[in-house]
Amino acid sequence: MKSFFVSSEVEPFAKTGGLGDVSSGLPSALSALGLDVTVVMPLYPVVKREGLEKLPEELEVQPGNRRRAFSIYRGETPGGVSILFLENPEFFGRHGLYGDERGDFHDNALRFGHFCAAVAQLAEAWKVDLIHCNDWQCGLLPYYASKRGIKSLITIHNMAFHGQFPMEFAAELGLPLDNLGEFEEWGRLNFLKNGILRAAGITTVSEGYAEEILTPEFGCGLDGVLRSRAGALRGILNGADTATWNPLTDERLPARFSARDLTGKARCRAALHDAFGLPQTPDPIIGMVGRLTEQKGMDLVLSGIDQICSMGFKLALLGAGQAEYENAWRGLATMYPGLVGVKIAFSENLAHLVEAGSDMFLMPSRFEPCGLNQMYSQSYGTPPVVHAVGGLRDTVTDPSESSDPTGFKFTPYSTEAMLGALGRARDLFRQPEGWKKMVTTGMRRDFSWTLSAKKYEAFYKTIL
């Protein structure tokens, strides 16, 4: 089986979010299983060219009425997987993957549509059996691949992003103007819709999210399209980077620790208090890391902050996002000195410290396709408190579900339910033996990519 794994971003070459992490971790795990996999992505200016080999072949792509040329460069990911970069200065010679400070690039439909056409042409030349596409940026790839007799799979990382554009781009992308139904949604081109309808297989990033996106609440307008392809849909949980996120080897921490020896976690806890200007007291400290957006449940936390502080908690928040939430958190740090510590920033070092030094981790997301921080938290002995949705529901075990729980869940999506779960967490925290059991149970869970890769391998074989 020879496959292309195609993504608009791959860590460490170019990344804006979790897609870049997945596009690095999953191909490495697939390769470790013995699969012949090659990663393919656009060549952006941010990609360092040292060590890349320019291949002699060039791609001449003409999906519509104008021909574009793509050069091909070859390199290797940190995991030892072959990676191809497709270069076209007109489309990918700008700073920014999808846009700049003024917003999204106006021609993203042409940029990623031509990229998809180029990948399909290259896959045919290289005799690829299967193309694994990711998100809307690859949404037209199943269409172009099917015209060349190549099967494809598309992974949906977040249903909220469809890749919607004016219909005027259809002609230049070579789409059938007399039959645009599978490309159109509410009068606009919809890349993701076409990917769902054309791919031989569809996956999303957790079993829970696979169920949710079939409903109007989470399907973002494409739930009917997904229900029509429900037999081809699978939920496969993302893995985590267990090499980078390992408290026993994490060089970003002031002290390392493991489930067998938690001594170092106390030193991390002390360092976290110092970093966020909080007093060293035995009261439980809640950690939060992430984007400050409505999706991440910021409205619940802000509406419940009075009760959280009165319940005996301290809170350390690291993140950035919507201006109104950034300003609200700055105000809370002033309003609750010694109880609320805030860093409006993205910092890899501080993110590791929050995970390691907190007593518990709060993720009240309105929706969460997979989520990674709840996995990191368990690995770092920091039981998560999560809204029971998507990947959060799948990866955290509540005391009501098992005698070996790893965290706390709440539902429905409400401030009251969240406070109830925090209250249960506080009560167990005050029972040292019970709390230690939950901490160590979570730390022993395996969130590596290996299990996910095996499920993908099986699905690849089913598709072929």
Residue 235 sits in the same domain as residue 333: no
Has residue 254 been placed in a domain? no
Has residue 247 been placed in a domain? no
Q: CATH number of the domain that 281 lies in? A: 3.40.50.2000
**Cα separation, 53 vs 73, whole angstroms:** 5
Residue 299 sits in the same domain as residue 430: yes
Residues of the chain with pLDDT under 50: none
Has residue 219 been placed in a domain? yes
- The residues near 339 (Cβ < 8 Å, ≥ 6 apart) are 278, 309, 313, 314, 315
Has residue 213 been placed in a domain? yes
The Cα angle at residue 377 between residues 372 and 382, in degrees rounded to 5? 165
Residue 331 sits in the same domain as residue 230: no
CB of 43 closer than 8 Å to CB of 73: yes
Structural domains in the chain (count)? 2
The pLDDT, as a whole number, for residue 65 is 87
The pLDDT, as a whole number, for residue 18 is 85
CB of 377 closer than 8 Å to CB of 268: no
Residue 171 sits in the same domain as residue 294: no
The pLDDT, as a whole number, for residue 17 is 83
DSSP string, 77-105: -TTS-EEEEEE-HHHH-SSSSSEETTEE-
Residue 292 sits in the same domain as residue 191: no
Residue 19 sits in the same domain as residue 122: yes
AA letter at 74? R
Residue 177 sits in the same domain as residue 268: no
Has residue 306 been placed in a domain? yes
Give the structural domain span for 429.
263-443
CB of 41 closer than 8 Å to CB of 73: no
Residue 174 sits in the same domain as residue 77: yes
Has residue 29 been placed in a domain? yes
Has residue 245 been placed in a domain? no
Has residue 258 been placed in a domain? no
Residue 268 sits in the same domain as residue 225: no
- Strand 2-6 to strand 340-344: parallel, antiparallel, or no bridges (unpaired)? unpaired
- Measure Cα distances from 266 to 285, 314, 422, 429 in Å: 12, 16, 21, 15
pLDDT, one tens digit per residue, over 147-184 is 999 999 999 999 999 999 999 999 999 999 988 999 99
Give the pair of three-digit tokens for residue 307.
């009760």
Question: pTM for this one?
Answer: 0.92
Residue 142 sits in the same domain as residue 224: yes
Find the helix packing angle between 323-335 and 298-310, rounded to 10°: 10
Residue 455 sits in the same domain as residue 421: no
Residue 124 sits in the same domain as residue 11: yes
The pLDDT, as a whole number, for residue 101 is 87
Name the DSSP class of 10.
B
Beta bridge partners of 317: 288, 342
